[in-house]
Amino acid sequence: MAYDSLRPYLQVLEQQGMMRWVDVEVDKDWEIGAIVRMIFRAMPEEARYGIGFRNIKGFPGGRVVAGVIGASKRMIATATGAEPTAEAIHDKVISGITTPIPPVIVPTGPCKEVIIREGDVDLTRFPIPTWTPGKDAGPYLTPLWVTKDPDNGRRDVGIRRCQIKGRDRTGILFGAPDRGGAIHHAKWKMLGKPMPAAIFIGADPIQYLVAPSRYGEDEFAIAGGVRGEAVELVRCETVDIEVPATAEIVIEGEVMTDMVEPEGPFGEFTGYMAGGRECPVFRVKCITHRKDPILLGVVSQFPPSESSMLKVALLESNLLKHLRSNLNIPGIADVHALEAGGCTATCWVSVKKIYAGQIDQLALGIWGYMGMSYFKWIVITDDDVDIRDPFMRDWVMAWRVRPDQDMRILKDTAAVELDPASLLPGVEGDQIRGGKALIDATKKWAYPEVSLPPLRQLRKVAGEWARYGLPPLGELKLPKASE
């Protein structure tokens, strides 16, 4: 089922116990950030819910929701219309990538109910929270940015942090220089012109789900493919950019290309604060919004977070599709980007080894597709291993790797964006460099059998457990190798 906008989706979340509203007065400058952090620090994934605030100190009538896109797999499944399993979500997204539906332009939409033009623009009217209180440089939006390639007009949609610097001025961080939006900015800069841009908040949650990945295709068309219906777009008032008609808030303007100023710090997906670097500035020319806009924040910062949940759900399916279908690499069982690394530092792959060079082809295919600012560790193991089980990953690292032979190091290349191990003080821009490691954790010869009783015997005793007069068992966890 396609959601027309954020609102019917929030209602479904509420009906299904995945969204709660807080009516007690809260302070946007510290309390909202602290409350939503608890979703990830004090709740198991299955119990997580999004939170809405509708009594915000100093902002009568203002509403903020957070944790409503990627708090849990169940929530992501609800947003995409898939069953709540990693496989079903992957399949749904892959179907959107393989059968994109181009967006359609409509004359107007709810996002134009209120139009505020230059001079009257004032971002501080919105209850924009400070997400890492006492540490962030100030309030931040976590919106979707839409830009166009000046060479061919191709659109890009990406999530980027957005520091509120004044009534009509924000910062923008292009963390990795090889992302679509960052490349657009570099091209506009080469032309000596500011980059037209629009930020939007809200609309169908699928926009947030597809934006953090890269497809080489218009993300609105991918979103259309996932939802099974074209996304309706409206033209902006002051820039040649289109945004979803049902967005809650749209902020139009230009990202400057002739000046930079310090941005951040901001609590980042690595689990550390990052910022203070010289970054471009976004000059706001116009704001359009619904009469009673809902401000949506994506909870990032320390993993796990919505940032890691979104990436794990969508980046993996995107990558899997690329490796299997575009590169035709056979035997791939699974691809898993680890949440502790914000799904950006470490990628595991399980594969049936069939030919020489397959492991290198996989690793180079991953870096080639994701860009060198992704994955400082790629670990590839055999298809008998459940790479989603942390204990099995440790077991593989213990006994399927010879450190002196099975690791390939790529020195002095692009760093994982915002990796504190690479962001040395005083080092900026192109000078930020990092290293990569490929660990071939496949068996290099026909290993002996695993030291467990045969699976059929384990299953037999498990099935008859009560007969032994012992307390109930938990889930039977075995390496596939024990079959």
Ligand X SMILES: Cc1cc2nc3c(=O)[nH]c(=O)nc-3n(C[C@H](O)[C@H](O)[C@H](O)COP(=O)(O)O)c2cc1C
| Binding region for ligand X (CB under 6 A) | 142, 156, 158-161, 173-176, 179-181, 211-212, 214, 298, 300, 307, 310
Q: Which is nearer to ligand X, 234 or 416 (CB)?
A: 416
The contacts of residue 314 (CB under 8 Å, 6+ apart) are: 89, 93, 209, 210, 212, 213
Q: Which amino acid is at 478?
A: L
Straight-line distance from the first to the last Cα atom of the chain, in angstroms, rounded to the nearest whole number? 40
Smallest separation (angstroms) from ligand X to the CB of 460: 46
Smallest separation (angstroms) from ligand X to the CB of 215: 8
Smallest separation (angstroms) from ligand X to the CB of 370: 9
Smallest separation (angstroms) from ligand X to the CB of 267: 11
Q: Which is nearer to ligand X, 17 or 216 (CB)?
A: 216
Q: Which is nearer to ligand X, 260 or 458 (CB)?
A: 260
Question: HSE on the CB side for 205, CA within 13 Å?
Answer: 30
Report the distance separating Cα 1 and Cα 227, nearest Å. Answer: 7
Smallest separation (angstroms) from ligand X to the CB of 4: 23
Integer Rg of the chain from CA: 23
- The answer to whether 193 and 257 are in contact (CB under 8 A) is yes
Q: Which is nearer to ligand X, 313 or 349 (CB)?
A: 313
Smallest separation (angstroms) from ligand X to the CB of 299: 8
- The answer to whether 204 and 232 are in contact (CB under 8 A) is no
- The answer to whether 136 and 238 are in contact (CB under 8 A) is no
Q: Which is nearer to ligand X, 214 or 289 (CB)?
A: 214
DSSP letter for each residue of 255-278: E-SS--EEE--EE-TTSSEE--EE
Report the distance separating Cα 141 and Cα 131, nearest Å. Answer: 9
In the numeric block, the tokens 């037209």 are attached to 196
**Residue 43: is it exposed, middle or buried by C-beta count within 10 angstroms (0-12/13-18/19+)?**
middle
- Residue with the CB atom nearest ligand X in the bound state: 158
Q: Which is nearer to ligand X, 126 or 215 (CB)?
A: 215
Q: Which is nearer to ligand X, 110 or 244 (CB)?
A: 244
Smallest separation (angstroms) from ligand X to the CB of 196: 15
